[in-house]
Structure 1
Amino acid sequence: MASPSAPQGVLEAAVYVDDLDAAEGFYAGIVGLKVIIRHDPRHVFFVCGQSVVLAFVAAESSQPGDGSGIPVPLHGATGPGHICFSVPGEDLDEWVDYLSAKGIGIEADFHWPNGARSVYVRDPAGNSVEFAEPKLWGLKT
């Protein structure tokens, strides 16, 4: 089965993972995002439209820096986070079929009171991954 068109952007993102290979397999291999940098064992970054999805290993990003001189503060999270990809409504059925064919269970598929549709799955780290129409937040496709 051919993959659907790549998402058009990120609406919401907060992703911490415990396995970079699994994260890359899901976000690059399944969702179709392009890897722009990977720094083992700390993170892998993906481009999505005009946005970047950052997947950090929380245990690594909560430790002091690697000596590169980049003053990024310590950060990290525990428990599942959430990311929402912007997908035109007419592509959501194709995404449901594609994800199901890849063995990824659909956790929820519904229409919001404003008519926008959202489809939810889980990534390998347990993060909630949503594919939603931009009109969810009043945005245009």
Structure 2
Amino acid sequence: MTSDQVASVRYIVDDVPAAVDFYTTHLGFAPPEISAPAFAAVTRGPLRLLLAGPGSSGAKATPETYADAGRNRINLATDDLDAEIDRLRAAGVDFVSDVVSGPGGRQILVADPAGNLVELFEPRQG
């Protein structure tokens, strides 16, 4: 492994085209570098998001006891959380939490079409 590689995260999705549309339309990911009916890879900066549909090897390799991933999620930083919330609400995106504030900043959660969580995070300034 080399240090100049991007970080990849795999999300299991029910509908690959719907997931691609969600991430590219609403969350600023680039169009797929790889796309097939059962799999696509979209990128945002150094993050490569692998969207594995029902027919993909990644979906088949998940043990049944771990099918519900729990609290795992990707974290996308923003400079203006309120503006992102307004923009996504106007586009019809539903949020699965309210804004939460903590010592490091503020966050809110959205879910992709397959229910995978995405945290929009605004770091505390100063």
TM-score of the two chains, using structure 1 as the length reference: 0.67
Structure 1 unaligned residues grouped into runs of 5+: 1-10, 64-73
| 1:1-141 alignment runs, 5 A limit | 13-62=9-58, 75-76=61-62, 78-79=67-68, 82-88=73-79, 91-108=80-97, 109-112=99-102, 114-134=103-123
SS state at 2:61 partner: coil
- Percent of pairs identical after alignment? 28
In the alignment, the residues of structure 2 paired with residue 83 and residue 100 of structure 1 have an alpha-carbon distance, to the nearest angstrom, of 20
In the alignment, the residues of structure 1 paired with residue 50 and residue 58 of structure 2 have an alpha-carbon distance, to the nearest angstrom, of 15
TM-score of the two chains, using structure 2 as the length reference: 0.74
Count matched residues. Answer: 114
By how many angstroms is 1:13 displaced?
4.4
In the alignment, the residues of structure 1 paired with residue 82 and residue 49 of structure 2 have an alpha-carbon distance, to the nearest angstrom, of 24
Q: What amino acid sits opposite 1:29 in the alignment?
A: T
Q: What amino acid sits opposite 2:73 in the alignment?
A: H
Cα 1:25–1:45 shift into 2, 3 Å? same
- What's the CA shift string for 1:19-74, capped at 9, x where partnerless? 011001100111121024233222111111122111112542247xxxxxxxxxx7
In the alignment, the residues of structure 2 paired with residue 39 and residue 134 of structure 1 have an alpha-carbon distance, to the nearest angstrom, of 33
SS state at 1:83 partner: strand
In the alignment, the residues of structure 2 paired with residue 62 and residue 87 of structure 1 have an alpha-carbon distance, to the nearest angstrom, of 29
